[in-house]
Protein backbone atom coordinates (compact mmCIF):
# COMPACT_ATOMS: atom_id res chain seq x y z
CA UNK A 1 0.00 0.00 0.00
CA UNK A 2 1.39 3.48 -0.89
CA UNK A 3 2.16 5.58 2.19
CA UNK A 4 0.59 9.01 2.56
CA UNK A 5 2.38 11.74 4.52
CA UNK A 6 1.07 15.08 5.82
CA UNK A 7 2.72 18.16 7.30
CA UNK A 8 1.72 21.69 8.39
CA UNK A 9 3.41 25.07 8.34
CA UNK A 10 3.56 28.67 7.14
CA UNK A 11 6.54 28.28 4.77
CA UNK A 12 7.08 32.04 4.49
CA UNK A 13 10.17 33.29 2.60
CA UNK A 14 10.70 29.72 1.30
CA UNK A 15 14.26 28.73 2.26
CA UNK A 16 16.70 25.80 2.26
CA UNK A 17 15.38 24.50 5.63
CA UNK A 18 11.95 24.15 4.01
CA UNK A 19 13.37 22.42 0.92
CA UNK A 20 15.35 19.90 3.00
CA UNK A 21 12.39 19.20 5.27
CA UNK A 22 10.09 18.60 2.28
CA UNK A 23 12.74 16.32 0.73
CA UNK A 24 12.90 14.26 3.95
CA UNK A 25 9.12 14.21 4.25
CA UNK A 26 8.76 12.97 0.67
CA UNK A 27 11.25 10.22 1.50
CA UNK A 28 8.97 8.91 4.26
CA UNK A 29 6.26 7.83 1.83
CA UNK A 30 4.76 7.98 -1.65
CA UNK A 31 2.48 11.01 -1.42
CA UNK A 32 3.10 14.26 0.48
CA UNK A 33 0.33 16.70 1.43
CA UNK A 34 1.41 20.09 2.80
CA UNK A 35 -1.16 22.12 4.74
CA UNK A 36 -0.23 25.79 4.52
CA UNK A 37 -1.32 28.25 7.21
CA UNK A 38 -3.65 30.85 5.72
CA UNK A 39 -3.04 34.55 6.40
CA UNK A 40 -6.12 34.58 8.67
CA UNK A 41 -4.81 31.60 10.69
CA UNK A 42 -1.38 33.25 10.97
CA UNK A 43 -3.09 36.28 12.45
CA UNK A 44 -4.70 34.03 15.07
CA UNK A 45 -1.23 32.58 15.81
CA UNK A 46 0.12 36.14 16.17
CA UNK A 47 2.31 35.71 13.07
CA UNK A 48 2.38 37.69 9.86
CA UNK A 49 3.96 36.45 6.67
CA UNK A 50 5.85 38.51 4.10
CA UNK A 51 4.60 36.31 1.26
CA UNK A 52 0.79 36.13 0.99
CA UNK A 53 -1.01 32.78 1.28
CA UNK A 54 -1.80 32.36 -2.46
CA UNK A 55 1.87 32.82 -3.37
CA UNK A 56 3.07 30.46 -0.62
CA UNK A 57 0.66 27.85 -2.05
CA UNK A 58 1.99 28.46 -5.58
CA UNK A 59 5.61 28.12 -4.44
CA UNK A 60 4.94 24.88 -2.52
CA UNK A 61 2.91 23.44 -5.42
CA UNK A 62 5.90 24.06 -7.71
CA UNK A 63 8.18 22.00 -5.42
CA UNK A 64 8.76 18.52 -6.78
CA UNK A 65 8.60 16.89 -3.34
CA UNK A 66 5.03 18.12 -2.81
CA UNK A 67 2.03 16.27 -4.25
CA UNK A 68 -0.86 18.26 -2.77
CA UNK A 69 -1.33 21.57 -0.95
CA UNK A 70 -4.28 22.29 1.34
CA UNK A 71 -5.16 25.27 3.56
CA UNK A 72 -4.52 25.16 7.30
CA UNK A 73 -7.33 27.22 8.80
CA UNK A 74 -7.19 26.25 12.48
CA UNK A 75 -5.39 24.15 15.09
CA UNK A 76 -8.20 21.59 15.31
CA UNK A 77 -8.44 20.38 11.70
CA UNK A 78 -5.61 17.85 11.86
CA UNK A 79 -7.66 14.84 12.98
CA UNK A 80 -10.24 15.43 10.26
CA UNK A 81 -7.50 15.95 7.60
CA UNK A 82 -5.73 12.72 8.62
CA UNK A 83 -8.96 10.71 8.34
CA UNK A 84 -10.17 12.33 5.09
CA UNK A 85 -6.77 12.15 3.34
CA UNK A 86 -6.16 8.58 4.63
CA UNK A 87 -2.81 9.66 6.08
CA UNK A 88 -0.27 7.09 7.32
CA UNK A 89 2.37 9.49 8.67
CA UNK A 90 2.01 12.91 10.29
CA UNK A 91 5.42 14.61 10.32
CA UNK A 92 6.87 17.96 11.41
CA UNK A 93 10.27 19.49 12.09
CA UNK A 94 11.58 18.67 15.57
CA UNK A 95 10.89 22.18 16.88
CA UNK A 96 7.44 20.59 17.37
CA UNK A 97 8.73 17.46 19.15
CA UNK A 98 6.08 15.88 21.36
CA UNK A 99 3.45 18.52 20.50
CA UNK A 100 1.32 16.27 18.31
CA UNK A 101 1.79 12.88 19.97
CA UNK A 102 -1.98 12.75 20.64
CA UNK A 103 -2.49 12.08 16.89
CA UNK A 104 -0.70 8.75 17.40
CA UNK A 105 -4.04 6.93 17.69
CA UNK A 106 -4.78 7.85 14.03
CA UNK A 107 -1.41 7.50 12.31
CA UNK A 108 2.33 7.39 12.89
CA UNK A 109 3.70 10.70 14.27
CA UNK A 110 7.25 11.63 13.28
CA UNK A 111 9.50 14.62 14.09
CA UNK A 112 12.36 15.27 11.67
CA UNK A 113 15.59 17.16 12.34
CA UNK A 114 15.56 20.82 11.34
CA UNK A 115 18.25 22.37 9.17
CA UNK A 116 20.52 24.43 11.40
CA UNK A 117 21.13 28.17 11.19
CA UNK A 118 18.22 29.14 8.94
CA UNK A 119 14.64 30.16 9.63
CA UNK A 120 12.06 32.63 8.37
CA UNK A 121 12.59 34.58 11.60
CA UNK A 122 16.36 34.87 11.00
CA UNK A 123 15.76 36.01 7.39
CA UNK A 124 13.34 38.68 8.64
CA UNK A 125 15.90 39.81 11.25
CA UNK A 126 18.57 39.98 8.54
CA UNK A 127 16.30 42.08 6.29
CA UNK A 128 15.46 44.42 9.17
CA UNK A 129 19.17 44.88 9.94
CA UNK A 130 19.87 45.56 6.26
CA UNK A 131 17.13 48.18 6.18
CA UNK A 132 18.43 49.89 9.30
CA UNK A 133 22.01 49.85 7.84
CA UNK A 134 20.70 51.45 4.67
CA UNK A 135 18.77 54.05 6.66
CA UNK A 136 21.97 54.92 8.57
CA UNK A 137 23.81 55.28 5.23
CA UNK A 138 21.10 57.59 3.84
CA UNK A 139 21.10 59.69 7.05
CA UNK A 140 24.91 60.00 6.84
CA UNK A 141 24.66 61.04 3.15
CA UNK A 142 22.06 63.71 3.97
CA UNK A 143 24.21 65.05 6.81
CA UNK A 144 27.31 65.16 4.59
CA UNK A 145 25.41 66.91 1.80
CA UNK A 146 24.02 69.39 4.36
CA UNK A 147 27.53 70.17 5.63
CA UNK A 148 28.84 70.60 2.07
CA UNK A 149 25.94 72.91 1.21
CA UNK A 150 26.60 75.00 4.34
CA UNK A 151 30.28 75.38 3.40
CA UNK A 152 29.42 76.81 -0.05
N1 LIG B 1 11.97 23.79 9.22
C2 LIG B 1 13.12 23.01 9.16
N3 LIG B 1 14.36 23.63 9.20
C4 LIG B 1 14.44 24.96 9.33
C5 LIG B 1 13.28 25.77 9.39
C6 LIG B 1 12.05 25.15 9.33
O7 LIG B 1 13.06 21.79 9.06
N8 LIG B 1 15.65 25.51 9.41
C9 LIG B 1 10.67 23.13 9.22
C10 LIG B 1 9.88 23.39 10.49
O11 LIG B 1 10.32 22.51 11.50
C12 LIG B 1 8.46 23.11 10.05
C13 LIG B 1 8.48 23.53 8.55
O14 LIG B 1 9.86 23.66 8.18
O15 LIG B 1 8.15 21.73 10.14
C16 LIG B 1 7.77 24.83 8.32
O17 LIG B 1 8.30 25.73 9.25
P18 LIG B 1 8.02 27.27 9.32
O19 LIG B 1 7.59 27.62 10.70
O20 LIG B 1 7.18 27.72 8.20
O21 LIG B 1 9.51 27.83 9.04
P22 LIG B 1 10.51 28.54 10.03
O23 LIG B 1 11.70 28.95 9.22
O24 LIG B 1 10.76 27.71 11.25
O25 LIG B 1 9.66 29.86 10.41
P26 LIG B 1 9.68 30.73 11.74
O27 LIG B 1 11.07 31.27 11.92
O28 LIG B 1 8.65 31.82 11.46
O29 LIG B 1 9.25 29.81 12.87
Instruction: Give percent of the chain above pLDDT 90.
Output: 88
43-55 per-position pLDDT tens digit: 999 999 999 999 9
Q: Is the CB of 9 under 6 A from ligand 1?
A: yes
**Does pLDDT of 151 surpass 90?**
no
CATH architecture designation of domain 4-115: 3-Layer(aba) Sandwich (3.40)
CA distance 63 to 57: 10
Average pLDDT, the chain: 96
User: How far apart are the CA of 114 and the centre of ligand 1, in A?
Assistant: 7
- CA 10 from centroid of its chain's CA atoms: 4
Catalytic residue list contains 47: yes
Q: Are 144 and 41 in contact (CB under 8 A)?
A: no
Q: Is the CB of 32 under 6 A from ligand 1?
A: no
**Does pLDDT of 65 surpass 90?**
yes
Confidence at residue 131, expressed as pLDDT on a 0 to 100 scale: 87
Q: Is the CB of 34 under 6 A from ligand 1?
A: no
Q: Is the CB of 119 under 6 A from ligand 1?
A: yes
**Does pLDDT of 125 surpass 90?**
yes
Q: Are 100 and 92 in contact (CB under 8 A)?
A: yes
Question: What does the pLDDT average to over 134-147?
Answer: 90
Question: Band of the pLDDT at 150, cuts 50, 70, 90?
Answer: confident
Q: Is the pTM of this model over 0.75?
A: yes
Q: Whose CA is nearest to atom 10 of ligand 1?
A: 93
Question: What does the pLDDT average to over 38-47?
Answer: 96
Amino acid sequence: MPKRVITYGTFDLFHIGHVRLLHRLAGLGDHLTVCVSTDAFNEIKGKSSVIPYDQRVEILSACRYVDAVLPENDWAQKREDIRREKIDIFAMGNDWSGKFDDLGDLCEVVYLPRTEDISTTSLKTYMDALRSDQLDEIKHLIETLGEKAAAL
